[in-house]
Structure 1
Amino acid sequence: MTTGDLVIAADFGTSGVKVGAVDRDLTLRARVVETYPLDLGPGGHAEQAPADWWWALARAIARLTDEIPDLPQRAGALSFGSQICGVVCVGEDGAPLRPCLTWLDKRAAPLGRALVGGAPQVHGYQIGKLLRWLRIANGAPAKNGMDPTAKFLWIKREEPEVFARTRWFMDVKDWLVLRATGRPITTAESANLTWLMDTRRGREGWSPRLAAMTGIPLDKLPEIADGADVVGTLTTGAAADLGLPAGLPVMGGVSDVTAAALGSGEVEDGALHICIATSAWISGFFPNRRLNVPASYATITSSVGFRPLLIASQENAGSALEWAVKMTGGAETTETLATAFAQVGEARPNDPYFLPWLAGERVPVDDDALRGVLHGLRLHHGPPEIRRAAIEGVALNIRWAYSKVAREKGVRLEGPISMVGGVAANPRFAQTLADALHRPLRVGEARHAGVLGAAALAAPVLGWSATVWEAAARLRGKTTATYTPDPDRAAALDARNAQLAVIRRNAIRSFSRTRTRS
């Protein structure tokens, strides 16, 4: 057990890092946000410089120290949560060999389809390959190329010198832990989503058989550690960068999905929560592995005790709302979304329909070729109608995924469902989603769930709780708002959803034909 009465917890997203100082009651005493760039380009290019994450962390900690001058002395641990499915090619000296291919990078899509394809096939997967992956890993690489597996192969084909010099392939959090401690590790979620990990109970670890199927050498993958373990301490150099004491314990850390799950407080089996940020996901812990191949979701092995965590992830949520604001002449940051949608008027029957597939989709249809659609535009439609359509379209897209997840055995369907993430702080969206799902929504520490979830990892180490789960469960009481479905609006959304289902099916067929011709 270590000393200190504060945890410094950092949640690294796609556009920036949220860093907080959290006390033993898992209350944020101070928090700051530092941004960093995302390099987007044609063909699905989406990269970030790992050094940008590190120096954003350093700036954030300096600002926290301005608010809490004795923070370095009071800090008991440093804990990271981060975006997942990034690929950092790390050399023998721990330095990145090239920018990170973020989760959003789709350049490897053709390789992803080739990796899993072949005859005979089902849902685009060669049956023999699919059965082996499902049995060992409880899933298979996505056809859209966004999982690390295809990205590894893209590096191997397009940048063979980088591939040869790569000592470790690491996810975002993994590189940050390496930079902080000098120790190369990963955790189970990141390992699972390489689809090179055996996730069967009692056999958790890298799988030589899956490595042979993909041609990825296992010696390029780091040791798998538990996210709730202290995996090292701050090196002298890292401590100097961050303005913290050398020797500060560093947790193994978690992905953003597990950080949000812990931060939501929904840690009982079958209790779902919804995270709405740049992307969106429906998630919850289960007592055993779950899999739905047609709807493209499954449980992954979480970083805390290998506990299965169901994730039904959608590519477009806050990003689609930001796009709608930008296209209608407004600001485009998540921080302004609440005001951007506050004065758009009441929904009308002839509002356009919106399919928010601006970056493809994953659940319940895994297809990187899907694209956004505004259907039914009229001459009198303007910014208010388009913004209303965006709010509704994202909410009904989540309902589409929720309709599949809700059928899982053991899902808790009664009572409020928790919502976290930056967009959860938008009252208009929260009410629309409650209406769409016909369920009350409980909004907790909406923007801070990732930070609080990462902080919960350190609670047992600091003597604040017996387990991570006990600490996280306390967060369920931190409710800031509750939204009850409006019966009239819910009925109207049911009718709109029925029409949208027809539009959706036709759009999917259209994009499928376009790809076939190209």
Structure 2
Amino acid sequence: LYQKAYSAETLAGTLSPGWAKKLGLSEKVAIAVGAFDAHMGAVGAGISTGSLVKIVGTSTCDIMIHPHQETLKDIPGVCGIVNGSVMNGYYGIEAGQSGVGDIFLWFINRLVPDSYGKTQDEKFRTLEKAAKKLKAGESGLLALDWNNGNRTILVDVRLTGLLLGQTLHTSPEEIYRALIEATGFGALVIIDRIEEYGVKVREVVNCGGLAVKNSLMMQIYADITGRPMKISRSEQTPALGAGIFAAVAAGKKSGGYESIDDAKKAMTGTGKVYEPQKENHEAYKKLYKLYCQLHDGFGTKHWSGGMFNVMKDLLELRDEVLKSK
């Protein structure tokens, strides 16, 4: 390993003659120091103090920044707190969920019958259309999103997924929606833990494949968290973030920018926003309480509560929702 680390907006050099010829570009093109894809994705999504950027795909990375001159407490279960890791002058705060899109793919590929479609995409479209017709709490299902372990806040790769409440009448779209909801509850656990230790989440900006493609998921996330889910204007935020760092490395005289903040203002932004729906949020508050009961009961060894109420409460909520339809 090198003995010295450099921040990503540092000029590493310029394009080599060989690559300049191959790409048809000038040898004066600035090459910036590299960084993690998720960190560049956060910058490409316009991260700022108080912004939680969710890079949502097969897994999810949650990124925040905090001014390095301000006090930052240790946040239990959040392992990725490093000064300068995302942007120079800030602590990078990185959390995440080790399975999100991969959970949906597992369900589609292993358990959804071919009557829902002949291809993976057809099955996704059929399930999303059917799941959108369901109301929060209607299925009586509750899942834990640990099919690939738990990264934050339990930090335990040996935890596994769970689906509670299925009956002989449970449908694939109900399970699909319950799995999406489970990842939404897991996302809220992370937000709650970060805020519990003094870092205020002012806004949530989503980027990555699922943020763009899965409108049902983004609406459910808004309803669960009670927060607007903003979608990054760019569909390729890691590439855009790399471009931002390179523009700063090049400098203003070469057509770039003097600072990362200047580059972000010019090059980033948000587009579609999913607003929370009050009725769904109220139902999800009840489900989240039950999710936390399962989370602590199966995920922590110091929990000493009971679980007798969970199935009964799920059924009670289901009956309430069905009566209101």
TM-score normalised by L of structure 1: 0.50
Structure 2 counterpart of 1:278, one-letter code = T
**How far apart in 1 are the matches of 2:34 and 2:120?**
30
- List aligned pairs for 1:8-23, cutoff 5 A: none
Following the alignment from structure 1 to structure 2, what is the Cα–Cα distance between the partners of residues 343 and 241? 49
Question: Secondary structure of 1:370's match?
Answer: coil
Contact 1:227 1:254 in 2 (8 A): yes
Residue 356 of structure 1 aligns with which residue?
A: 145
Distance 2:93 2:243 in 1: 21
CA deviations on 1:386-428 (whole Å, 9 max, x unpaired) are 1111111111110111111123435243xx4221121111211
The verdict on how the C-alpha distance between 1:262 and 1:429 changes in structure 2, with shifts beyond 3 A counting, is same
Counterpart residue number, 1:365? 154
Partner of 1:40: none
1:341 is paired with a residue whose SS is: helix
Deviation at 1:435, TM superposition (A): 0.8
CA distance in 2, matches of 1:258, 1:509: 30
Question: Is it true that 1:342 corresponds to 2:129 in the alignment?
Answer: yes
Corresponding residue for residue 76 of structure 1: none
User: How has the CA–CA distance of structure 1 residues 291 and 317 changed in structure 2, closer, same or farther, with 3 Å as cutoff?
Assistant: farther
Question: Of 466, 469, 472, which residue of structure 1 is paired with 2:258?
Answer: 466
Gapped regions of structure 1 (runs ≥ 5): 1-219, 513-518
The equivalences for 1:244-255 within 5 A come to 248-255=29-36
Does the 8 Å CA contact 2:45/2:53 hold for their aligned counterparts?
yes
Q: Give the corresponding residue for 1:455.
A: 243
Give the superposition deviation at 1:266.
Answer: 2.6
- In the alignment, the residues of structure 1 paired with residue 40 and residue 228 of structure 2 have an alpha-carbon distance, to the nearest angstrom, of 23
1:246 shift after superposition = 5.5
For 1:302, the aligned partner's letter is: S
Residue in 2 that maps onto 1:69: none
* 8 Å contact kept, 2:81–2:91: yes
What per-residue deviation string (whole Å, max 9, x for no partner) do you get for residues 56-89 of structure 1? xxxxxxxxxxxxxxxxxxxxxxxxxxxxxxxxxx
Q: CA deviation at 1:436?
A: 0.8
Equivalent residue, structure 2, for 1:411: 200
Q: Deviations over 1:421-468 (max 9, x none)?
A: 211112111111111111112112253222211111122314332212
* SS of structure 2 residue aligned to 1:423: helix
Larger relative contact order (C-alpha < 8 A, sep ≥ 6)? Answer: 2
1:472 shift after superposition: 1.1
How many pairs does the alignment contain?
287
1:96-111 aligned within 5 A: none
Residue in structure 1 matched with residue 95 of structure 2 by the alignment? 312
**Relative to total residues, which structure has the larger helix share, 1 or 2?**
2
Match of 1:283 among 49, 52, 63: 63
Q: Which AA in structure 2 matches 1:307?
A: Y
* Residue in 2 that maps onto 1:491: 282
Change (3 A) 1:222 1:319: farther
C-alpha separation between the residues in 2 aligned to 1:353 and 1:468?
Answer: 42
Query: Which letter does structure 2 place at the counterpart of 1:250?
Result: I
Are residues 446 and 352 of structure 1, via their aligned partners in 2, closer, same or farther at CA, if it must alter by over 3 Å? farther
Q: 2: distance between equivalents of 1:446 and 1:249?
A: 22
Q: Secondary structure at the match of 2:279?
A: helix
Alignment of structure 1 residues 215-234 onto 2, 5 Å: 220-221=1-2, 223-234=4-15
CA distance in 2, matches of 1:496, 1:443: 25
Deviations 1:85-120 (A, max 9, x none): xxxxxxxxxxxxxxxxxxxxxxxxxxxxxxxxxxxx
- CA distance, structure 2, for counterparts of residue 337 and residue 457 of structure 1: 36
2:50 corresponds, among 270, 280, 290, to 270
Shift of 1:498: 1.3
Q: Which residue of 1 aligns with 2:223?
A: 435
Question: Are the equivalent residues in 2 in contact too, given 1:442–1:481 (CA < 8 A)?
Answer: yes
Query: What RMSD in Å do the two structures reach over aligned CA positions?
Result: 2.9
Code of the aligned partner of 1:418: V
Whether 1:444 and 2:232 are equivalent positions in the alignment is yes
Matched, 1:396 2:188: no
Structure 2 residue aligned with 1:114: none
| Structure 1 position 241, deviation (Å) | 6.3
- Superposed, 1:23-102 pairs within 5 Å as none
Aligned amino acid, residue 78 of structure 2: S
The answer as to whether partners of 1:445 and 1:480 remain within 8 angstroms in 2 is yes
Q: Is the 8 A contact 2:73 2:197 kept in 1?
A: no
Query: Quick one: structure 1 residues 411 and 359, their matched pair in 2 at CA, closer, same or farther if it must change by over 3 Å?
Result: same
Aligned residue for 1:501, secondary structure, equals helix
Gaps in structure 2 of 5+ consecutive residues: 304-325
Is the 8 Å Cα contact of residues 283 and 310 (structure 1) preserved in structure 2?
yes
Equivalent pairs: percent with the same residue? 23
Q: Give the match for residue 385 of structure 1.
A: 174
